[in-house]
Chains A and B, each alone.
Chain A
Amino acid sequence: MFELICNVLLWLGLLYSYFFHVLEAPIPDRTARNPYTLKPDVWPKAIIILLLICIAINIINIIRKNRNNPDFSFASMFSINVKRWLGMAIIIGASFILEPLGYMATCCLVLFLYGLLLGQTHVFRLAVFSVVITFVLYVVFSVLLSVNLPRGTIEACRNFSLYVEGIVSSVQSALGM
């Protein structure tokens, strides 16, 4: 059922895109008047038409195959693994909190929450692991590979990042790096 719903949604989404989003800006006059140019909407429209046909056949195939399947119902939709939904929520959430919270807090949170999700029951050990790995990854990427990781836009997070950076740079200068 999940597959069928995804295919139907995809088909509807493509139909909507075909009419409203293939071209989002006017074609320049000279291009529009030139009969020997391929207009910018031709290629995506051709792909969408092919997709609409293929997905329609796929939908028919799914219905045909599952016609006599008792598990093929809307109720089966709710048997989808909850852990996976939570996993998706953590990853999507991380991509949104990375800017306001910055690397340090986001990394700690993601490592901790995803560890819990994957069945880690030793909370204290997991917390220590999260902090240590956050620092290790920071050193590897920010210090050794010169990747400027986000500091965060929330003042407290930003100040904490700057504080850690200060400690790291003083250690670096002490080591003569």
Chain B
Amino acid sequence: MTTWELFTNGFSVLMDPYTFLMVVFAIVVGTIFGALPGVSATMAVALGLPFTYSMQPVPAIVFLVAVYCSSITGGSITAILFKIPGVPSSAPTTFDGYPMAQRGEAGKALGIALGSSAIGGLVSALAMLTLSPQLTQAALSFSPSDIFAITFMGLSILTCLDSKNILRTLISGLLGLLLACVGQDPMYAVQRLTFGSGELIAGLEMIPVLIGIFAVTEVLKQTKKRDKLTADEGTASVNTKMPSFREWWGIKWLLARCSIIGTIIGILPGAGATIASFLCYSSETKLSKHPEKFGTGIIDGIAASETANNAATGGAMVPLLSLGIPGGNAAAVMMSALVLKGVQLGPLLLVNQPQYLSATFASMVVTNILMVIVAIAIAKVFAQILAVPYSYLGPIIIMLAIIGSYATNMSIADVKIMAIAGVIGLVISACHFNSAALILGLVLGVICEGNFSRAYTISRANLVNMFARPVAGTLMVISLVLLVWPIVSSLFRKKEA
């Protein structure tokens, strides 16, 4: 199927009134979830999962993609109005958004945030549509050793996830890899690490673990904090004065740079929207002619952060759809849901089920355009919603987590796994481990072991032969450099200090 056919097919799918309605509903749900502090994009997708259980695969994929994109954008609303980032990737938006809101320029700040989010999202959606077929073609010729090298490269980013805590991040990633070994081994179905529990023979179900670690842990953390999600005194109303064309024109190169960087970071497994927004904000500070103005309330700061985090959403979909490797936590949750729906993620998606790729693209385009209108309306309501006490909001999130875990397989065991994962998530946070690294290890662990095992047998137990192929060899060298460089540089820094 050509790119143009994918393009037209995607939009014809969205012409179905039910599917279009699902997109609008998902944008509302996603923007609200994203704007709620403590509800991350991953959690929004996880909480949106039960809605898709009775849907057909196409509406389900469209719904989840729309929730994902709009939740990233929704995070900017509370970041600008109340200095509370709704999602972690909106944290840099507070640096310039809140000062603008305090100056009475909330409308302009929101306009820039929503507009640049839309631009970032549209650029990355186009990149997804144009790059996915090529990546897919390349991926079809990959051997198990190549796939192992790709997943290993995803794991090698572990050391870059938190440069101040490399050892703990490594431990978290390794724990994730070990958790992926629970149950029967992928080649010979030998039972491992089940501790005699029959419920663990099939391995750990991904969705309850993700819901536990993200949603439940966050609510447990909030139990220590104040009752109301009120913010610093300030904005109560939102004016809708949008930025002028001249202002948009002034940041055109910034938008282009951040869209590209955000998309590339989104493609890298394990990186994601948060890293993209921080990286673009800091790089734009370095590239700007007036770096001293960053942080005082200028549109450049908001545009850098919001373009990058939304561009990362499309980027994350590229490896997810083409290779079956999630680019981030939210993509990992989506991957689990789509596999349940029978979507064959990976190189064969474009060959056997091209309708899912086109539906994802169309959903991203429509979501990024519609969410500008929806988010402005929601921003106006949000001043009131934030006054809802957390003592009402928190228990609802817990119940949604319980129902979401149960509904995956109609299994009480999954609810127990979710509860234990929630507690483990809190312990991980208390021990300064990195939950994102743990999830990355858990998600990539099965793919990594299975392909390593296959490649090992094909190469007749010869590790040199195993990585003799150009793709595998090159990627392994890059991965090792990526893995070792942050460790070595931090050792050098310590010596210099």
A interface list, Cβ under 8 A from B: 2-3, 6-7, 17, 21-28, 31, 35-38, 40-41, 43-44, 47-48, 50-51, 54-55, 57-58, 61, 81, 83-84, 86-88, 90-92, 94-96, 98-99, 103, 106-107, 110-112, 114-120, 126, 129-130, 133, 137, 141, 145-150
User: Would you call B50 and A120 a contact (CB within 8 A)?
Assistant: no
B449 in contact (CB, < 8 A): yes
Q: Is the CB of A40 within 8 A of B185?
A: yes
14 contacts between A and B (CB under 8 A): A24-B191, A24-B192, A24-B193, A44-B193, A51-B178, A54-B167, A55-B171, A95-B416, A103-B403, A137-B399, A141-B50, A146-B53, A147-B53, A147-B410
Residues of A with C-beta under 8 A to B356? none
Is B392 on the interface with A (CB-CB < 8 A)?
Answer: yes
The minimal Cβ–Cβ distance linking B144 to chain A, given in whole angstroms, is 11
Q: Which residues of B contact A84 (CB under 8 A)?
A: 220-221, 223-224, 426
Partner of A111, one of B53, B167, B396: B396
Q: Which A residues are CB-close (under 8 A) to B54?
A: 145-147
At the interface, yes or no: B427 with Cβ under 8 Å from chain A?
yes
A110, B402: Cβ atoms closer than 8 Å:
yes
CB A115 to nearest CB in B, in angstroms, measures 5
Q: Could you say which of B196, B399, B418 contacts A110, with CB atoms under 8 Å apart?
A: B399
Interface residues of chain A: helix, strand, loop or mixed (majority): helix
Proximity string of chain B (127-168) to chain A, C-beta cutoff 8 Å, 1 when within and 0 when not: 000000000000000000000000000000000000000011
Indicate which residue in B50, B175, B188, B410 contacts A148 across the interface (CB closer than 8 Å): B410
**Chain B positions 420 through 461: 1 when the CB is less than 8 Å from some CB of chain A, otherwise 0:** 101100110011100000000000000001001100110011
Q: Which residues of B contact A35 (CB under 8 A)?
A: 461
Contact of A3 (CB < 8 Å), options: B220, B395, B431: B431
A38, B452: Cβ atoms closer than 8 Å: yes
Whether, in the assembled complex, B219 has its beta carbon less than 8 Å from a beta carbon of chain A, the answer is: yes
A83, closest chain B residue (CB): B223
A110 touches B395 (CB 8 A): yes
Most chain B CB within 10 A, of A23, A25, A146, is at A25
B212-253 toward A: CB 8 Å interface, digit per residue (1/0)?
Answer: 000010011111100100000000000000000000000000
Q: Are A37 and B457 in contact (CB under 8 A)?
A: yes
Which residues of B does A touch, CB under 8 Å? 50-51, 53-54, 167-168, 170-171, 174-175, 177-178, 181, 185, 187-188, 190-196, 216, 219-224, 227, 389-392, 394-396, 398-400, 402-403, 406-407, 410, 412, 415-416, 418-420, 422-423, 426-427, 430-432, 449, 452-453, 456-457, 460-461
Compute how far the CA of A50 lies from the CA of B158 in the bound complex, rounded to whole angstroms: 15
> In the complex, are the beta carbons of B220 and A88 less than 8 A apart?
yes
The one of A27, A44, A83, A99 that contacts B178, using a Cβ cutoff of 8 Å:
A44
Complex contact B449–A43 (CB within 8 A): yes
| Complex contacts, A91 vs chain B, CB 8 Å | 216, 220, 398, 419, 422-423
Q: How far is the CA of A37 from the CA of B456 in the complex (A)?
A: 7
Given A28-B188, A91-B398, A95-B412, 11 further pairs, Cβ under 8 A = A36-B456, A36-B460, A40-B185, A57-B167, A106-B402, A111-B396, A116-B391, A119-B389, A130-B395, A147-B54, A149-B406
CA distance A98 to B405 in the complex (A): 12
Closest Cβ of chain A to B299, distance in Å, is 38
Minimum CB–CB distance for B45 against chain A, Å? 16
**Interchain CB contact under 8 A, A120 and B412:** no
Q: Is the CB of B423 within 8 A of A145?
A: no
B457 touches A38 (CB 8 A): yes
Is A25's CB under 8 angstroms from B410's CB? no
Compute how far the CA of A54 lies from the CA of B400 in the bound complex, rounded to whole angstroms: 36
